Amino acid sequence: MLNKYARAFFTRVLTPFAALLLRLGVSPDAVTLVGTAGVMAGALVFFPMGEFFWGTIVITIFVFSDLVDGNMARQAGISSRWGAFLDSTLDRVADGAIFAGFALWYAGSGDDNILCAVAIFCLASGQVVSYTKARGESIGLPVAVNGLVERAERLVISLVAAGLAGLHNFGVPGIDVLLPIALWIVAVGSLVTLIQRVVTVRRESAEADAAEAAATGPAATDSAGSAGRGSEADR
């Protein structure tokens, strides 16, 4: 849901910065790679040590590269399939690093196996949520659904909570409880979003199959159905 509004706002804000990088000869791919490396460093260096405030600051600085690189490509007129592929792939890497950092903290000094498992679930469910949309689109379906907790929501909820929880190290009492609450919210929200997307793909695929069957006629449908039953038996 946040993707729809926040991305447009920050794209406008970051356009001058993207133009500056282009004038300096920086490529969009370089911004993508540096941004991902920065997010991974912030998550996997600071979070396992319990330094959630500073880790969040580092991640926040670099996470905006996800908007800058695409903006640069559009301004330069060099948008490409490779750039889109690289950006989407490294987004998954960065997201995984964030929740891996949480899991490492709770598996180590945080000493909470349940929250470690919740963080791992957030990591895995986030990857699967992204995959369902990509896979649905790859078979020709629009996957027209705005999920409850998509990538923007996962990042905002988890990073805001982590940053605030990190203030516990500066003497703010009780605020560290925000991170466990956020992880549970992201876990439940990701599960709901996954169900939403699966249900949507199921409905859209049924509609597409019905439209195709109506277009080809009863004879073709009977033939396809017989072939499908035979293949199923062979499997």
Q: Known binder of ligand: residue 205?
A: no
- Is 91 annotated in the active site? yes
- Residue 87 counted as an annotated binding residue: yes
Q: Is 56 annotated among the ligand-binding residues?
A: no
Catalytic residue chosen out of the listed positions 91, 112, 222, 234? 91
Query: Phi and psi for 4 in degrees, rounded to 5?
Result: -65, -35
DSSP readout, 31-94?
Answer: HHHHHHHHHHHIIIIIGGGT-HHHHHHHHHHHHTHHHHHHHHHHHHT---HHHHHHHHHHHHHH
32 belongs to an annotated ligand binding site: yes
| Residue 30 among known ligand-binding residues | yes
Alpha-carbon span 151 to 167, nearest angstrom = 25
Is 29 annotated among the ligand-binding residues?
yes
Q: 95 among the known binding-site residues? A: no
- The annotation places the binding site for Mg(2+) at 66, 69, 87, 91
Please list the active-site residues.
91
- The annotation places the binding site for a CDP-1,2-diacyl-sn-glycerol at 29-32, 70, 74, 80
- The annotation places the binding site at 29-32, 66, 69-70, 74, 80, 87, 91
